[in-house]
Structure 1
Amino acid sequence: MSPEPLEESSRDQPSGHRGRRGSRRGLVIAVVVLALFGSCGSVWWIASQARTPEQRAANAGPPPPSDVTATVSDQRIVERLELTGRVQTSSRTTISGVRPEGTSRAVVTGLPAKAGESLRGGAVVAEVSGRPVLLLPGRFPAYRDLRIGDKGPDVRQLQRALRPLYGVAVTGTYGPATADAVRRLYAAAGYEAPRSTAPPEAAESGDEAASADASPGTRARGGAETDGGTGQPPASGDEASDRATSAARAPEQHQDTVGGTLPAAEVTYVAAVPATVVRVSAEVGDTADGPLVTVGSGGRQVRATLTADQRTRLRDMPDDAVIRFGEGPYDGRTGSLGSLRAVAGEGKGDEGADEGKSDTYEALFVPPAGTAKDGARQQITVELRKSPADSLTVPVSAVWTDLGGSASVTVLENGSKRDVSVEVLFTYDGLTAVRALDDGLRASQKVMLTRRGDSSAAGGTDG
């Protein structure tokens, strides 16, 4: 059989058929190579896991003993308490409406005072049934209508409030000079002053005079009500005696004296002026039988809410603790702690509130003199304790205490160890302030915390 026909037959085969045979050969080669690599990897992994019993025991044993050290520092430890508070006035008074005499209903007809506004003495806080509620400085609320001839602590309070405005003498007797000042007070506010209506019976010489045959007094009527934030009327001494007889009315000089009457419903007293409007609670048209306006007066304070633990830390802080104000109106200045108390409704009492009845307390901090917007946010940092300038700082675990209570640290220097007796001053946040009892401890030295792998070397701490 001749070979030439075979070669011709091979040449006559299509090129695509030859390409497919080449691809199959390449695939087979790749599979063989991958199998070889996989076998080698398996053999290597099995070999790497093979260990003699001695090797396994060595790997399972503890590392060789080594010393764990820390560096002595001369940085002072400061125990801080960080708080956030709000600026507010030291006294707040909530003003409620009372139906004025001669009207059938108590309706809010005007609210000229706006939140955030500063009010001076004689300002109109609200208008009820067409009549003003005037703001004056005083220690206690008005508790009766005043008329010419009246005497008592409430008259003296009114005269003290009118003295810087109209030069009224403080005599304790509501006389013509006081009536004229009341008339001018109303006129400045844009209202007509009430007139006295009692029938004339005898002449009165003036504010200093008091009637010898005073007629029986009338029952005291309530006035522009407050929340009691301005204090209570005096109740002892001459003023107590005056209050007992203050209802007795002297004969009036004139039947129709403008300013001869000051209704309690038309005046409200606050601790000091100027006062700031904190909140306006009512709207024009409301029935004036609830809170109308809340005003703050007196100096500023910063109120911060506390947990029971924070309250305890403030209560027990040393006398040399420092209170610093951070971000806020008083930034960079120092202040003092005014009081600690349970949040209203949660506990009762002030400094000695029952901690079992409240989980929330508040602290009132006194800032330096100066004005700040009511409600402004203020950061407070209380430095409760600070290590002395001559003390050194080490980690808590560096302090070793023996059975007798003596404390020491172990200094590592030039490959040797030596114990140095120390006095523990205080510990805070994992650090301890110490003072060496000799010259053997300095900043930047290394002290031993513990010896790794040596159970016999366990450090003690002094809390």
Structure 2
Amino acid sequence: MSGGTPDPRADGARPLGRRRLGLALVTLLALTGGGVAVTALVTPSSAPAGDADAEGLPPATAPVTRGDLTDSSQRDGTLGHLGERKINAGGPGGTLTWLAPTGSVVERDERLYEVDGEAVRLMYGEEPMYRTLKTGDEGKDVRQWEENLAALGYTGFDVDDTYTARTAAAVKRWQKSHDLKQTGTVGPDRIAFAGSAVRVKAAGAETGGGGSGGSGAGRIAPGDRLSTGTPVLTVTGSERVVTFEVPASEATSAKTGTKVAVTLPDGTRLPGRVSAVGRTATAGDDPQDKTPKIDVTVSFDDPGKVRGVDQSPVTVELTGETRRDVLSVPVNALLALPDGGFGVQVVENGTARDVRVELGMFAQGRVEISGDGLRAGMKVGVPS
């Protein structure tokens, strides 16, 4: 000051102006690793002449509030179906005479396709149907086939790893129900296994160029000749799911079981939870963003309510930790104190004072604070 008169506020006691917020931003980013949305802190480095800050008061205030604070984040996702696999012809070959329609859901014992007018039906199980099962055979595939017979209501045999005469008798009853020759044996020309009900995505194998509903190089149609191993259908699980990506550094925000809310293209908001998290990080397809990311799958709490075209864009809101009954202020109310740490500028009775605070959770554009003398309803300085 002119004349050498010392400024009575030069010892740091005066309220900190909004010009200190640039420093607060840098410090906050260092503390949080850049993971907090604090863009509201970016303000001019000095107040213009005549601004309220020149008189020691901030240009605007916001209240300190008490309530619950939830750490949530949003991700862009894609609506789809669980898993994808091919169903290959397993019999000796013949002419394809019928295919389950694209988009249809095929359940246990229903037709997948027909060769020479004879149906190949879906059964549930992880083991492939690689041989003709007959009396005396043993193995996991035997148990899997018997589990399906039992699920369809056939009785009189033990569900185990051995194909007995009683198993053959149940198979004959199953064959009679479908007007088949009653041999008591069954092979890949009659059944194909998948883990559950399947949704038909496309005919043949999607080998590029066609996409769902297009004319990819691997497509087949009734009238085509099949041989053993020919891809007949590309299928997915029947369950509707959402997939999205998170940076590998933020993988803990999407642990298995994490609750989410999914906003569908029509605006419907449905609850769900993370059902699977990838174990391998990849750079992804975006040439502008090579950040390693992890795939995340979300299952809906009520799949029957899901509506929307396959591959539609959706928004996923991840619900993280909730802090109950805490004080919070807008993030841009924070000030960097000269001796380190953070504070807020409390405005009362026309005066302002700096109050040191301890920081807690950052969420929804706010930050949890605690400190001496703080209470709900207090006004704190914020940029205009």
Give the TM bin, normalised by the shorter chain: 0.5 to 0.7
Superimposed CA distance per residue, residues 369-399 of structure 1 (whole angstroms, 9 cap, x where no aligned partner) = 4434683755421134556432221343532
Task: Letter of the 2:87 partner, please give it.
Answer: I
- TM-score of the two chains, using structure 1 as the length reference: 0.56
Q: 1:63 aligns with which of 42, 45, 49?
A: 49
Matches within 5 A, 1:208-247: none
Give the AA of the match of 1:97. A
Root-mean-square deviation over aligned CA pairs: 3.5
C-alpha distance in 2 between matches for 1:326 and 1:424: 32
Give the equivalent residue in structure 2 for 1:337: 274
**1:392 touches 1:434 (CA, 8 Å); kept in 2?**
yes
Report whether the alignment pairs 1:437 with 2:371: yes
For structure 2, the 5+ residue unaligned runs are 1-47, 205-219, 285-289
Secondary structure, aligned partner of 2:316? strand
CA 1:314–1:176: 2 relative to 1, 3 Å: same
Contact preservation (8 Å) 1:93, 1:270:
no
Gap regions ≥5 residues in structure 1: 1-61, 101-105, 194-257, 342-350, 451-463
Give 1:215's aligned residue: none
In the other structure, the counterpart of 2:184 is 260
Q: Secondary structure at the match of 2:223?
A: coil
Judge conservation of contact 2:326–2:368 (CA < 8 Å) in 1: no
Q: Counterpart of 2:115 in structure 1: which amino acid?
A: V
Deviations 1:30-84 (A, max 9, x none): xxxxxxxxxxxxxxxxxxxxxxxxxxxxxxxx73534433323328575421333
Whether 1:164 and 2:151 are equivalent positions in the alignment is yes
Per-residue deviation, 1:130: 4.6
- CA 1:187/1:70 → structure 2, altered by over 3 Å: closer, same or farther? farther
Correspondence for 1:173 among 159, 162, 170:
162
* Counterparts of residues 327-406 of structure 1 (less than 5 Å): 327=264, 331-341=268-278, 351-353=279-281, 361-371=294-304, 372=306, 375=310, 377=312, 378-384=314-320, 388-396=324-332, 398-403=334-339, 405-406=340-341
- Cα displacement string for residues 382-426 of structure 1 (whole angstroms, at most 9, x for unaligned residues): 1345564322213435323343x4322122323322222211113
Partner Cα distance (2:139, 2:273) in 1: 38
**1:159 Cα offset (Å):** 1.0
Q: Does the C-alpha gap of structure 1 residues 379 and 107 become closer, same or farther in structure 2, counting only changes over 3 Å?
A: farther
Give the structure with higher Rg (CA).
1
1:325 maps to a residue whose letter is V
TM-score by length of 2: 0.66
What is the DSSP-based 3-state SS (H/G/I as helix, E as strand, rest coil) of the residue aligned with 1:150?
coil
Q: What amino acid is aligned across from residue 271 of structure 2 in structure 1?
A: T
Percent identity between the two aligned chains: 20
Deviations 1:287-326 (A, max 9, x none): 335321233447x3523232x53x5434345899641133
Give the one of 212, 225, 230 matched to 1:290: 230
1:141 is displaced (CA, Å) by 0.7
Q: Distance in 1 between matches of 2:61 and 2:70?
A: 15
**Residue 72 of structure 1: aligned partner:** 62
Cα distance, 1:107–1:318 mapped onto 2, change above 3 Å: closer
Please give the alpha-carbon distance, in whole angstroms, between the structure 2 residues aligned to 1:421 and 1:325.
39
More strand by share: 2
1:82 aligns with 2:75: yes
Looking at both structures, which has the greater relative contact order when contacts are Cα pairs under 8 Å and sequence separation is at least 6?
Answer: 2
> 1:155 deviation in Å?
1.4
Equivalents in 2 of 1:168, 1:94: separation in Å?
Answer: 34
Q: Which amino acid aligns with 1:277?
A: V
The 8 Å contact of residues 107 and 196 in structure 2, kept in 1 or not, is answered as no
Aligned to 2:344: 409
Q: Distance in 1 between matches of 2:371 and 2:188?
A: 73
